[in-house]
Amino acid sequence: MAVARRQGLRRSGTAALEICAIAALYYGSARLGLLQQLVRGQVTPLWPPSGIAVASLLLRGPRVWPGIALGAFLVNISLGPSLPAVLAIAAGNTLAPACSYLLLRRAGFRTELDRLRDALALVFLGGFTGMLVSATMGSGTLALAGALRPGDFWPTWSVWWTGDAMGVLVVTPVLLALRSACRPRHARPSRYAEALLLAAATAGVGFLVAGHAPLLFLGFPLLTWAAFRFQLAGAAPCALAVSTFAIIAGAERSGPFAGHDLLTRMITLQAFNGSAALTALLLAAVVSERNQTQREIARACGQLAGMAARIAAGDHRPVLPIAEKEDDKEDEKDAEKAEGGQEGHERAAEDRRTWQKAVSSSLRKRPPTG
């Protein structure tokens, strides 16, 4: 009883620490996102907490939702027009990741993001669909509270929705990649040099994008390079960096965003960010699937080569996988037992026949009595 109580307290303590850590990450990332706010000091074109919330639910399960709710409340308490409005906005910020999580689980999403269907599910279900909840509840709450003018609802809604969606598309893949990140074994020095060159090129293109030159398209060759050479581990951080530089340019009205109103800037910015995230995720997933298929083909070719070698050596038994070999061994043991039992019955019958013949012979040889 005492052991069970201690284990329950340990689990409760671990859950409380996870909730506090997620709340702290949510709050800290929200403060970073608010550095580029565009509407009323609280609506930003990239909302990293939404990506952190979705990743937390995918990695730790639905039990960590109180951390998301606590972080959302702490962020909005200093921004909202009133306490009921703050509670409504925090509820929307909590329900949106929960909806994304449920949709992704129902679609059979895997956190490895190594399949094309996983990338598509994260984009269209986790990002674009799930974040409709937070944008609608948040913008509607501000409108009902009188914090928005009647003509500002749709621009605010568009920035809110695309900001939350971009948080899922560019932040969640980075966190999922970090979960399985490890130092590559037997990596050549040229591999590290290529990674450093990719990082330097991304930074250089980012400074160009954030400047006055309309060179947003230069980010796509980098995303293609990162996806083909490093899969998700390279494509996700590259997409996050390119999107961040584009958001800075959009907030400062520089480069291709100069001379446009808020709605036009947001459409241009989020079209670019969505295209960049979609390109990175889909290419990384396709390359991962291709690599997995190549490994399976190489494994099958190895088995066929082993079978050919055994046949050439005169052994016509097929080369089977380990599991099948173990099953065959068990079948052989059962067959040997059965054969052994049959041989024993045959020997016993032969002994009985020999004994009967000996008795009959001895009876015939006895002299008659009389």
> Could you write out the three-class secondary structure of the chain?
CHHHHHHHHHHHHHHHHHHHHHHHHHHHHHHHHHHHCCECCCECCCCHHHHHHHHHHHHHCHHHHHHHHHHHHHHHCCCCCCHHHHHHHHHHHHHHHHHHHHHHHHCCCCCCCCCHHHHHHHHHHHHHHCCHHHHHHHHHHHHHCCCCCHHHHHHHHHHHHHHHHHHHHHHHHHHHHHHCCCCCCCCCHHHHHHHHHHHHHHHHHHHHHHCCCCCHHHHHHHHHHHHHHHHHHHHHHHHHHHHHHHHHHHHCCCHHHCCCCHHHHHHHHHHHHHHHHHHHHHHHHHHHHHHHHHHHHHHHHHHHHHHHHHHHCCCCCCCCCHHHHHHHHHHHHHHHHHHHHHHHHHHHHHHHHHHHHHHHHHHHHCCCCC
Q: What is the pLDDT of residue 361?
A: 57
303-322 average pLDDT score: 72
Sign for the CA dihedral angle at 182, 48, 103, 115 comes to negative
What share of the chain has pLDDT > 70, as a percent? Answer: 79
Q: What is the pLDDT of residue 63?
A: 92
In the predicted model, is pLDDT for residue 351 greater than 50? yes
Q: Name the band, by pLDDT with cuts 50, 70 and 90, for residue 363.
A: very low
CB neighbour list of residue 299: distance below 8 Å, 6 or more residues apart: none
Amino acid at 184: P
Q: Name the band, by pLDDT with cuts 50, 70 and 90, for residue 179.
A: confident
Nearest alpha carbon to residue 66 among 56, 58, 79, 76: 56
188-192 average pLDDT score: 85
In the predicted model, is pLDDT for residue 41 greater than 90? no
Nearest alpha carbon to residue 33 among 278, 243, 296, 306: 243
Specify the higher pLDDT residue, 1 or 5: 5
Specify the higher pLDDT residue, 33 or 106: 106
65-69 average pLDDT score: 95
Q: Name the band, by pLDDT with cuts 50, 70 and 90, for residue 272.
A: confident
Average pLDDT, the chain: 81
Specify the higher pLDDT residue, 45 or 120: 120
Give pLDDT tens digits for 198-247.
999 998 888 877 666 677 788 899 999 999 999 898 999 999 998 888 88
335-354 average pLDDT score: 56
Q: What is the pLDDT of residue 196?
A: 93
In the predicted model, is pLDDT for residue 355 greater than 90? no
Specify the higher pLDDT residue, 35 or 115: 115
What share of the chain has pLDDT > 90, as a percent? Answer: 38
Specify the higher pLDDT residue, 335 or 353: 353
Specify the higher pLDDT residue, 107 or 7: 107
Give pLDDT tens digits for 103-162.
999 999 999 888 889 999 999 999 999 999 999 999 999 889 888 887 888 878 888 888
Residue 15 CB: number of other CB atoms within 10 A? 15
In the predicted model, is pLDDT for residue 166 greater than 70? yes
266-283 average pLDDT score: 86
Going from the C-alpha of 343 to that of each of 58, 88, 337, 353, the distances in angstroms are 61, 82, 10, 15
Q: What is the pLDDT of residue 273?
A: 85
Nearest alpha carbon to residue 307 among 321, 295, 324: 321
What does the alpha-carbon distance between residue 325 and residue 223 come to, in Å, rounded to a whole number?
45
Q: Which of 54-68, 140-154, 263-277, 339-353 has maximum average pLDDT? A: 54-68
177-201 average pLDDT score: 83
Report yes or no: 40 and 148 within 8 Å, Cβ to Cβ.
Answer: yes
What angle, rounded to 10 degrees, do the helices at 83-106 and 65-76 form?
150
In the predicted model, is pLDDT for residue 359 greater than 50? no
Q: What angle do CA 279, 283, 289 make, to 5 degrees?
A: 155
